[in-house]
A and B are shown apart, each in its own frame.
Chain A
Amino acid sequence: MKHNIGHSLTDTLWEVETPEGIMLRLRPAGFAPRGLAWLMDFGIRLAVVAAISFTVGLTIGGYAAGGIILVVSFLLEWLYPVVFEVCCGGQTPGKKRLNLRVLHDNGTPVGWPASLVRNLLRFLDLLTLYSTAAACMLMDGRHRRLCDLAAGTLVVHVEPELVPRLPSGEAPEAPAHPLDLEERAALVAFAERLDELSQARQVELAELLQPLHGRKGWQAVQTLRRNAAHLLGDS
């Protein structure tokens, strides 16, 4: 069972149900970061071919060097992404830099067959200078290239591991009226996101809840923070 969640038209979040019965939320990566990752990988490949050509040309030389360079460039052209994707947790060096990861579209790590398919069929994208890939990614709700469709894969953003949030230090204070589950969640979410908002915006949002706390200005924000601390169970 997989389906879009939330505002399906504007949101690209993708949920996958695991055998453990929970929904994993994946964030498919779009055209720009993937293009950048590809460019980086391309640069790395060029650099490696150049470096190896240089070394081998100087040390071995002759026809044998040419043979080695040809084999190396073959491996880099076709198998570089496959080996990295399967052996390094779905990440080529470029994808790692941009925090992207290739997964099967059921959320499991990509394996040999799928990675082989999505990377060998890439030749077709190359023929059209990646315009088909770009068009396909822009049209698909999960930003998949045609090769991703054939391989059953998905490129997602990897989010850094979050650290636990420390208590705010505010003295807890019960809200003036009992709140239902939705309201409590909204209050906690507000308190958690305060750092991301400007002070004026904090006040503006807090004053919307005047019926609840009856306060104005900065005091309104403080009261809501204390309420949130109470709901979270800070002591």
Chain B
Amino acid sequence: MRQRQFETRHEAEWRRVSEAMKSGGGEEFPGLYRRICHHLAVARERRYGDGLVRRLEGLALAGHHTLYSRQGLTFRQIAAWLLEEFPLSFRRHWRFMLTATLFSLGPFLLIFVAILRNPEAAGLVLDAQTAASMEEMYSPAAEHFGRQRDVDSDLLMFGHYVNNNIGIDFRIFSGGLLAGVGSLFFLIFNGLYIGAIAAHLTVAGCGDNFWPFVSGHSALELTAMVVAGGAGLRLGWSLLAPGSQTRGQALRDAGRDGAVLIGGAAVMTLGAAFVEAFWSSRADIAPWVKYLFGASQWTLVLLFFAAGGRRRVA
């Protein structure tokens, strides 16, 4: 069959495919797409002109795109990701999670004990100005604590927590690409910094304000940081020890797991930002209520990671 005959015979069909793609496919689209694939194969085999072949290639590529594009994100997918894949992936990578915990909790405890024994040690991590402003925020005389608060400043702090804390999670994760060293650096640094502030405020007599403040959101925020670190270490480890795969393949697998984990960590940190901005900062809630809330949060988070995803929910 000559090229022109071929073209006249199928032109109407090709136009229909173009039209169908503009409206996102439709029920008969898979059939149309297979026909286009067939025509392309025939046109290539018969060595028809480059113009025709490239036109059909364009149609096939666009059709492929239309056929395989998934529409949006359904509630069901989100539930499956957060309630099943996320905790399952956490447990599957428990070694990385444990390492991330050690590398943040270790420095935290180290500097904490050091400062309790010798308050001067705070100078190793905190400069004088930071230390002074922290003391001011949580001093027993302050009306609001956790940074100075005006009435509608809760929203400002929420914005700050979202921007800063989720950003930190993302940075910890991306540091994993440097063979995991970046993740470790951020984990250690954050552990030292948080530990130094906690110990410094305790020594300075602000503990009665500080500990109830952080108890509420600590569970979500700190575990999310560990999850981000674990996901980063998983990336780094895939480069260092890809096992029987190529490094590229191992890195891609790590990336796929990482997406599930870092997404979950971001959602947890978002939750922590809500708690921190609108609950932790309230001075009118008795400390024991905050401790109780904090303890329940820790229990829930640990239970979630220990047991989540064992049964299908979505």
Which residues from chain A contact B255 at a C-beta distance below 8 Å?
113-114, 117, 150-152
B47 touches A121 (CB 8 A): no
Interface residues on chain A, size class:
35 or more
Mask: chain B, 240-258; 1 = CB below 8 Å from A; 0 = not: 0000000010011011101
Question: Within A113-163, which residues are at the interface with B (CB < 8 Å)?
Answer: 113-114, 116-117, 120-124, 146-147, 149-152, 159-163
Q: Does B235 contact A (CB under 8 A)?
A: yes
Interface residues as binary, B1-44 with A (CB distance below 8 Å gives 1, 0 otherwise): 01111010001000000100000000000000110010011000
Task: Tell me which residues across on chain A come within 8 A of B55, comparing CB atoms.
Answer: 161-164
- A116 and B263 in contact, given A24-B61, A109-B68, A164-B55 (Cβ under 8 angstroms): yes
Determine whether A40 belongs to the interface, using a CB cutoff of 8 Å to chain B.
no
Residue A209 lies at the interface, judged by CB distance under 8 Å to chain B? no
Q: Give Cα A232–Cα B5 distance, bound, in whole angstroms.
A: 9
Q: Which one, A78, A150, A159, A167, contacts B167 given CB within 8 A?
A: A78
A71 touches B40 (CB 8 A): no
Q: Is the C-beta of A211 less than 8 angstroms from some C-beta in chain B?
A: no
Q: Are B41 and A22 in contact (CB under 8 A)?
A: yes
Which residues from A are CB-within-8-Å of B159?
A: 66-71, 74
B215 within 8 A of A: no
- Would you call B163 and A73 a contact (CB within 8 A)? yes
Which residues of chain A from 5 to 50 have any CB-CB distance to chain B below 8 Å in the complex?
18, 20-22, 24-26
| Per-residue interface assignment for chain A, residues 59 to 89, with 1 indicating a CB less than 8 Å from any chain B CB and 0 otherwise | 0001110111111011001100000000101
Partner of B60, one of A22, A73, A160: A22
Contact B173 A121 (CB under 8 A): yes
A92-100, A185-193, A199-207, A213-221 - the one binding chain B? A185-193
Q: Are A63 and B47 in contact, with the CB atoms below 8 A?
A: no
Q: Does B50 make an interface contact (CB < 8 A)?
A: yes
Within 8 A of A (CB), among B107-148: none
Question: How many Cβ-Cβ contacts under 8 Å join chain A to chain B?
Answer: 174
Q: How far is the CA of A103 from the CA of B68 in the complex (A)?
A: 11
A74-B259 in contact given A63-B153, A120-B170, A162-B54 (Cβ < 8 Å): no
**Cross-chain contact A167 with B163 (CB below 8 angstroms):** no
CA distance A188 to B53 in the complex (A): 12
Chain A CB within 8 A of B312 CB = no
| A120 CB contact (under 8 Å) in B18, B33, B155, B173 | B173
A62 to B34: give the CA distance in the assembly, Å: 59
Bound-state Cα–Cα, A146 to B47, Å: 38
Known: A26-B61, A67-B155. 12 other contacts (CB 8 A): A18-B37, A67-B156, A67-B157, A68-B159, A74-B162, A78-B170, A111-B70, A149-B251, A161-B58, A164-B7, A164-B11, A185-B49
A residues sitting closer than 8 Å to B (CB atoms) are 18, 20-22, 24-26, 62-64, 66-71, 73-74, 77-78, 87, 89, 103, 107-109, 111-114, 116-117, 120-124, 146-147, 149-152, 159-165, 167, 181-182, 184-185, 188-189, 191-193, 231-235
- What are 25 contact pairs spanning A and B, CB under 8 A? A25-B57, A62-B152, A66-B156, A67-B155, A67-B156, A70-B159, A70-B160, A71-B159, A89-B69, A107-B64, A109-B68, A113-B263, A146-B177, A147-B177, A152-B255, A159-B54, A161-B18, A162-B51, A162-B55, A164-B7, A165-B49, A184-B47, A188-B48, A188-B50, A193-B50
